Amino acid sequence: MAYVAPPFRICFVCTGNICRSPTAEVVARHLLAGTALDGRVRVGSAGLGDWHVGDGADRRTVAALHQRGYPTWPHRARQFRAADFAEHDLVLALDRGHRAALTRLAPGPADAAKIRLLRSYDSAASPDDLDVPDPYYGGRQGFERVLDMIEAACRGLVAELIHHPAAG
């Protein structure tokens, strides 16, 4: 995918937009701050379903982020719609199921080409294990594990955007 003139718009997508995708949004914003891309890349998140539209992030998500020093933010879950493809340059799915659903939702081939798995930016991740698991039904450790995965992938994403912007 070619890098476009600022702002470059990224949307992280998971199931309900209360755990994984808002975590990725916060981590990416934090990593972009102070880089050459600060202000040139806009980051957001959404969910595939409408179950949590309008809700804040899961309290365990907020706790895991807070424990690692990330700022709180006024998150409100929203649903990703087909029209959102026109508003984003890169759509990052948190697991293969999300990628498949987004591909079906994409209005055309150019939109489908915007979809990538977030963990594909983590050079240490196995190509056979690129899913960020849903921590919703688990405990605190699941949220911490998810945060580890997302931090590694977002570091790779930001490095890719800084060093190879045309590869987006």
pLDDT tens digit sequence for 66-112: 999 998 888 999 999 999 999 999 999 999 999 999 999 999 999 99
- pLDDT for 6 beyond 80: no
pLDDT of residue 142: 93
> What's the pLDDT score for residue 73?
82
For 116-145, the pLDDT digits (tens) are 999 999 999 999 999 999 999 988 999 999
The token pair that represents 19 in the structure block: 């755990």
Distance CA 82, CA 157 (A): 24
The domains of the chain, with CATH numbers, are 8-162 (3.40.50.2300)
Above 60 in pLDDT, residue 19? yes
Q: Write down the pLDDT at residue 165.
A: 58
- What is the per-residue pLDDT for 164? 64
Active site residues: 14, 20, 134
Task: Indicate the pLDDT class of residue 2, thresholds 50, 70 and 90.
Answer: very low
pLDDT over 70 (residue 168):
no
